[in-house]
Amino acid sequence: MKNTILSLLALCLFAAPVFAQDAAPRKKVLYFSYSNGFQHDPVKLVDGGPSVSDVAMVELGKKHGYEVVCTKDGAVFDGDLDQYAAFAFYTSGNLSNDPDENKPGARITDTGREKFFAAIRAGKGYLGFHSANDTWRSGGDNYVNDPPEKINPYIKIVGAEFTSHGPQQEADVIITQPAALPWFKSKGEKFRYYDEWYAFKNFADDMHVLAVLDTEGMKGDQYRRPPFPMVWARMEGKGRVVFSGLGHRNEYWKDEHMMEMVNDLLQYAMGEGEIDITPNLEKTAPGAKTLKNN
């Protein structure tokens, strides 16, 4: 009962404006933010109501003409997934396990997980934020890439796996395909941002890298490596998959300018526009699989 009540509190489907009867129905996005690991501030419920990122996502949808449904209840994946154009994840930990008592939400069942995977492969979009690849992890040494047979199927879909992070700091993100997104075009070659920067391993060979983290001069052993992907796209069957490593801090979700990059990624995931997704990992980040320089 407690999980049900908290899950309902986490649901932030806002009333939709009235459209003309002949208007095309708005696309719908499921924003899922169940944490069964570290719970980031942007996904914490605020006084029992929507989280900071919930509010940002709903407002983004209102601004750009799509509907965002926010929940932490994994039971949603046992239901009708056809209604959604895309799934957005800001999650952590093993989503197949029940949360501890201090974290609202409910696990994704084995059936729901398979339905979720099948929906993406059939053409639904996916956008992962920050810790979404600190989810259903493969395990293993942080500084060793796992063999393909040991990489979790979810991680294979997302395209890379979290290993660790250093202190929050400013860093440059180099845009490798400025023409991919309108937001990228506005930034040019790179942008500088203050965040908690995750380090990754188990990169998918078929990913198309959109931006890399410039590791030169960064503080933390996990950054003693060549630049590695921070924003990317790939296909999972017919589904468009995109991932952005940004978003650790509440400030990111309150930054209207940064939210426009989120919108660009989400619109692409929903089937709007095109990105050249020719695999380019070796070209744009040739040392990405070097996890630590000794």
DSSP string, 186-234: HHTTEEEEEE--EEEES--TT-EEEEEE--TT-SSGGGSSS-EEEEEEE
* Pair 190, 204: CB distance under 8 Å: no
User: pTM score, two decimals?
Assistant: 0.91
Q: So what's the pLDDT on residue 20? A: 39
* Pair 195, 166: CB distance under 8 Å: no
Task: Please write the tens of the pLDDT for every residue from 25-36.
Answer: 899 999 999 999
Instruction: For CA atoms 124, 129, 135, 138, give the dihedral sign.
Output: positive
Indicate the residue type of 118: A
Tell me which residue of 76, 181, 192, 147 sits closest to 289, measured CA to CA: 147
Cβ neighbours around 149 below 10 Å, total: 5
2-284 CATH pick, 3.30.420.40, 3.30.360.10, 3.50.50.60, 3.40.50.880: 3.40.50.880
- Residues near 257 by Cβ (< 8 Å), separated by ≥ 6? none
Task: Please write the tens of the pLDDT for every residue from 56-99.
Answer: 999 999 999 999 999 999 999 999 999 999 999 999 999 999 87
In the chain, where the domains are located: 2-284
Q: So what's the pLDDT on residue 242? A: 98
pLDDT confidence bin for 192, thresholds 50/70/90: very high
pLDDT confidence bin for 190, thresholds 50/70/90: very high
Tell me which residue of 239, 174, 244, 235 sits closest to 207, measured CA to CA: 235
